[in-house]
Amino acid sequence: MSEPRFEFLMDGEFQPHRRRVRYGPELRVLIVGGGVAGLTLAALLEQRGFAPVVVEKSTEYADAGYVIGLWPAGSRILKGLGLFPRFSAIGVQCSHYIVANAAGDTLNSFSFEPLGRRYGPLVDIGRFQLIDLLHSAIEPHRIRFGVTVREIAERPDGVIAVFDDGTAEEYDILVACDGIHSSIRQLVFGDIPLEYNGAAGWVFWLPPDFVPPPEIMEYWGTGKFLGMYPMRNRFCAVAAVHAAPNAADPVETRCERLRSAFGRFGGIVPWVLGELPAPELLRPVDFSGVHLERWMEGHVVLVGDAAHAIVPTTGMGASLAMESAAVLAEELCRTDSKFLMQSLRHYEARRRGRVDRIQAMSRRLGRLMFADNGLVTRLRDNALRILADEPIVHTVDDMLAERI
């Protein structure tokens, strides 16, 4: 990590904290990014007596985004924060996962009910709703909007963050929760190429007067995918096609290209294509992932998509981010400033195996979903027709049963 220049700090304006061992809640924690991971970490630390600082480059949270399917491993964290009753009232418990082919014929339907009885439900909720919920668990003054970190300087017992407003502060730890395109990861590790999954697409909302059943419906074609995800009084759709990396995506032709790509699909897809919003409301969705050999450097550590973004084929990115935030919060509660590096290594060791397995699973699923060879597509569809619930349920059961 390069050492920024700090001549402007040498005139007495910046006073470093006294060098003494700080225990648990005394640790000075900076969280960069006020999304799902950052707010989860801030809420858990504040609950335990910490006073974290969160900086979020956006000036406010907007009513936008996409649907998040939160698995029980993530929603259990909301129980500990006292947010689960509100979460349940807002979200939709998904009963089934249905996969159809391009013609609209159902290939298979998998029930979530057996897993729900053992572990809890899979709940669909809008990202903006989950953000609002987590934000309500944090003291308002914890978050500084419209601010981000411009430079980082590592010190033997901490890190100095220089903000884009020219101010600088010292912390024991800087936690990067700023997403798949993390600027902190860039500062610390340099250019890390994203793992492109071979598909590009858009997420959009459908008319609020259509109330969908509490089930996930996906259409798998040849190199094409369209999924529909229920919310209360809203309906979110994701459409994606096999595409070259960095393919052009002019806004004005998005609707036309989407209708052309899915015009021969059956089922409910023709209705969806007839209800497309304005092209500027078709929000690009990133079918890429991030894989790093390590998630920490000095007193900087990455959490959530900044560390381990997964291709959004398994719908587990938010749950994994919340799990990682919870594990880091737990480790910080059991350390002090002298042994902070050891606690960060424990955090990474506890998370690495599970994250790597789910990332690999999402990549395999992505290759199936976006198979662009007609023969492979037919073999895939035939396999889905005869596939019983047991292999799918067993795979998800192992994931939910694993100790976090």
pLDDT of residue 307: 97
The mean pLDDT value for 372-392 works out to 83
Task: Give yes or no for a contact between 202 and 239, defined as CB atoms under 8 angstroms apart.
Answer: yes
Q: Is 244 exposed, middle or buried (0-12, 13-18, 19+ CB in 10 A)?
A: exposed
| Residue 116, token pair as written in the block | 């729900």
Instruction: Compute the distance between CA of residue 98 and CA of residue 389 in angstroms, rounded to an integer.
Output: 12
Q: Are residues 132 and 182 part of one domain?
A: yes
CATH number of the domain at 202, please: 3.30.9.30
> What does the DSSP 8-state code read for residue 280?
G
pLDDT of residue 308: 96
Q: Are residues 356 and 228 part of one domain?
A: no
pTM of the predicted structure, to 2 decimals: 0.92
Q: Are residues 188 and 224 part of one domain?
A: no
- Per cent of the chain over pLDDT 70 is 92
Q: Are residues 57 and 156 part of one domain?
A: yes
**301-339 confidence digits (pLDDT tens):** 999 999 999 988 888 899 999 999 999 999 999 999 999
Greatest CA separation found in the chain?
73
pLDDT of residue 65: 74
**175-228 confidence digits (pLDDT tens):** 999 999 999 999 999 999 999 888 899 999 987 776 678 999 999 999 999 999
Rounded to the nearest 5 percent, the helix, strand and coil shares of the chain are: 40, 25, 35
Instruction: List all residues 6 or more positions away from 380 whose beta carbon is below 8 Å from its beta carbon.
Output: 220, 368, 371
Task: Report yes or no on 381 lying in a domain.
Answer: yes
pLDDT at 392 over 80: no
Helical ranges in 153-208 per DSSP H: 183-189
Beta bridge partners of 274: none
Average pLDDT, the chain: 89
Instruction: Compute the distance between CA of residue 330 and CA of residue 41 in angstroms, rounded to an integer.
Output: 10
Q: Are residues 263 and 346 part of one domain?
A: no
Closest CA to 231 of 89, 119, 71: 89
The residue among 15 and 98 whose pLDDT is bigger is 98
pLDDT at 64 over 80: no
Of the candidate ranges 237-241, 328-332, 357-361, 384-388, the one whose mean pLDDT is the lowest: 384-388
Of the candidate ranges 28-42, 54-68, 99-113, the one whose mean pLDDT is the lowest: 54-68
The mean pLDDT value for 62-75 works out to 83
The mean pLDDT value for 28-44 works out to 97
**259-276 confidence digits (pLDDT tens):** 999 999 999 999 999 999
pLDDT at 2 over 60: no
Task: Report yes or no on 107 lying in a domain.
Answer: no
Query: How many domains does the chain fold into?
Result: 2
Helical ranges in 198-339 per DSSP H: 254-262, 269-274, 305-308, 317-333
CATH number of the domain at 84, please: 3.50.50.60
Say how many C-beta atoms besides its own lie within 10 A of residue 33's C-beta: 28
Instruction: Compute the distance between CA of residue 341 and CA of residue 324 in angstroms, rounded to an integer.
Output: 17
Q: Are residues 157 and 134 part of one domain?
A: yes
Of the candidate ranges 1-5, 38-42, 170-174, the one whose mean pLDDT is the lowest: 1-5
pLDDT of residue 83: 97
Which residue is it, tokens 């067993």?
394
Instruction: List all residues 6 or more positions away from 44 whose beta carbon is below 8 Å from its beta carbon.
Output: 77, 80, 81, 325, 326, 329
Amino acid at 284: P
pLDDT of residue 12: 41
Secondary element (H or E) of residue 236: strand 234-242
Q: Are residues 208 and 134 part of one domain?
A: no
Q: Are residues 299 and 182 part of one domain?
A: yes
- Per cent of the chain over pLDDT 90 is 70
β-bridge pairing 29-32 and 173-176:
parallel
Instruction: Give the CA dihedral 14, 18, 24, 30, nearest 10 degrees.
Output: 10
Task: Give yes or no for a contact between 125 and 98, defined as CB atoms under 8 angstroms apart.
Answer: no
Q: Which domain holds residue 224?
A: 197-288+370-396
Q: How confident is the model at residue 63 (pLDDT cuts 50, 70, 90)?
A: low
Amino acid at 160: I
pLDDT of residue 315: 83
